[in-house]
Structure 1
């Protein structure tokens, strides 16, 4: 790794991270490394608020459109690939600007998370519980064995709950025990958090949700169905996509899908805020402040 110091721009959804990341990349001669799990999927553009190519200001972006919707997105695979990207960017004298809000992805990349081994038999047993009893069954099991993990993982995220149950059974320890301790971030990365007033952010989420549906989210999902979206283990559970899939399967009208997408996003934002706010290394900025880029550069010493 060269002497170039990466910058991470993290925080809840819809706070303005992408704009700040682009501003910093322009000023500092940087390249963007995506750290949003669902933006890795090709074709999942509208529902993930992926920046269109024409809005990327000519700045190179990494870890976008690298998975098919039938592939499983894993933190471990992302970590390995993103480490290579960050170190390659820095080796070329550019500044890696890591932008996104996927909580475990951020921790895996910046804190060198070493993941516990897997046990195919244990994994298969919990996957059977998920297949036969649904997410409620694995959530109840996790709540009994590791209440903290059950509180921190979305009750609709069956795959992650299965992984937590597997780790708890293999290690005999809470799932959080396998997480890295917060210390000096990898590569000395400077971490900027972007947030907004809660009421204002809720309004932005509502507007973003409406714009996604108006821009053709349903059509996007229908197109992805033809290439296997419904069979995707992780892609099909993305907020917005899961709700539209339920609608297309006859579960409620489009307004119901829109409302559930808004509620799901708002709930996810609260979890992101809680997760990131407990990290004392983060320097927080108000995404609504027109001076946020200037403030970021001042904090960075630029």
Structure 2
């Protein structure tokens, strides 16, 4: 693929696990390199899903343009294909203006779809609905067993609790007649010769940040936010209602358990998701990793970016 498609500065892509410090770093980089930010967090696309996704409020964005935030209603389905097309257009438009695209987020498939060549496999609402109905009827463990019978490799890489990915894998296998892995992206030079930055922290410290963030969410009106979104169609959506935290609060509002248990399940679910993020991103040798707890993180990463000559299309690390 071309590293200079459309011309303009090299994008900087900031990834890593939840609560590692990506958003703050992205703001610093946007200020230092005349940038605009492109969101790569699936749930931050939703209007009104603010507290539970740690979305920056408009007055916290330092006057920097943000793209792919608040572009969906909660009853709409978020898809990788929609994001891929829209985010590619955003990045190319930013580059055409001579500014630096700063992509930031922790949604693994969104990252992969944006930086790599990925012809996303087809989808069929009827086939998807059939597998969704089966999932609701027999549960994730049984559906995972069925996936293992038709595609053992896919079952080995998908958790038996991840109903959405299980359904998607089954759908792809049925529609294409090929293993799910055959539809995965081709890893090579990143699109636009993007500079890939990873931010992480030691597990114990990250767990502490997740616990503090979860407590703050519930203390700052998260339950009220979810209740309001239910009135706007959250329950009718296919993806928004499955977001970590939102699903647990909906269950508590439905009387399945109390709010304190919802808070604990949100913490546990977030921590589990962080493990998946870390595993996914750490497999990518193109990412240069930095310690999110480094007090000089913004300066350190900025110097790395300058050395990589991000203002020159197709520049390479010195």
| Partners of 1:193 and 1:123 in 2: CA distance | 34
Are the counterparts in 1 of residues 117 and 187 from structure 2 also a CA contact under 8 Å?
Answer: no
1:156 deviates by 4.3
Q: How many residues align?
A: 302
Are the counterparts in 1 of residues 8 and 99 from structure 2 also a CA contact under 8 Å?
Answer: no
Flag the 1:6–1:201 CA change in 2: closer, same or farther, 3 A: same
Q: 1:16-31 residue pairs with structure 2 within 5 A?
A: 16-31=21-36
Matched, 1:110 2:115: yes
Flag the 1:43–1:154 CA change in 2: closer, same or farther, 3 A: farther
- 1:243 corresponds in structure 2 to 248
Matched, 1:298 2:308: no
CA RMSD across the alignment: 1.5
1:151 deviates by 4.6
| Partners of 2:123 and 2:297 in 1: CA distance | 43
| Partners of 1:230 and 1:45 in 2: CA distance | 17
| Partners of 1:216 and 1:93 in 2: CA distance | 40
Are the counterparts in 2 of residues 142 and 149 from structure 1 also a CA contact under 8 Å?
Answer: yes
- 2:259 corresponds in structure 1 to 254
1:29-77 per-position Cα deviation (integer Å, ceiling 9, x unaligned): 0000000000000000000000111111111100000000000000000
The answer to which of 8-17 and 149-158 deviates more is 149-158
1:147-203 per-position Cα deviation (integer Å, ceiling 9, x unaligned): 443354454443332111011223333212211121100010000000000000000
Query: Which of the residues 167, 170, 173 maps onto 2:175?
Result: 170
Matched, 1:128 2:133: yes
Are the counterparts in 2 of residues 157 and 237 from structure 1 also a CA contact under 8 Å?
Answer: no
Matched, 1:81 2:86: yes
Give me the TM-score of the superposition, normalised by structure 1: 0.96
Secondary structure at the aligned position of 1:50 is classed as: coil
Flag the 1:233–1:157 CA change in 2: closer, same or farther, 3 A: farther
Instruction: Flag structure 2 segments of 5+ consecutive residues without an equivalent.
Output: 1-5, 308-318
Matched, 1:100 2:112: no
Flag the 1:283–1:178 CA change in 2: closer, same or farther, 3 A: same
Are the counterparts in 1 of residues 20 and 206 from structure 2 also a CA contact under 8 Å?
Answer: yes
- 2:316 corresponds in structure 1 to none
| Partners of 2:73 and 2:160 in 1: CA distance | 25
Matched, 1:160 2:165: yes
Matched, 1:43 2:48: yes
The answer to which of 109-118 and 216-225 deviates more is 109-118
Instruction: Flag structure 1 segments of 5+ consecutive residues without an equivalent.
Output: none
The answer to which of 156-165 and 109-118 deviates more is 156-165
| Partners of 1:233 and 1:196 in 2: CA distance | 32
Matched, 1:195 2:200: yes
Give me the TM-score of the superposition, normalised by structure 2: 0.91
| Partners of 1:150 and 1:211 in 2: CA distance | 36
| Partners of 2:86 and 2:117 in 1: CA distance | 13
- 2:212 corresponds in structure 1 to 207
Query: Which of the residues 14, 17, 20 maps onto 1:12?
Result: 17
- 1:283 corresponds in structure 2 to 288
- 2:96 corresponds in structure 1 to 91
- 1:150 corresponds in structure 2 to 155
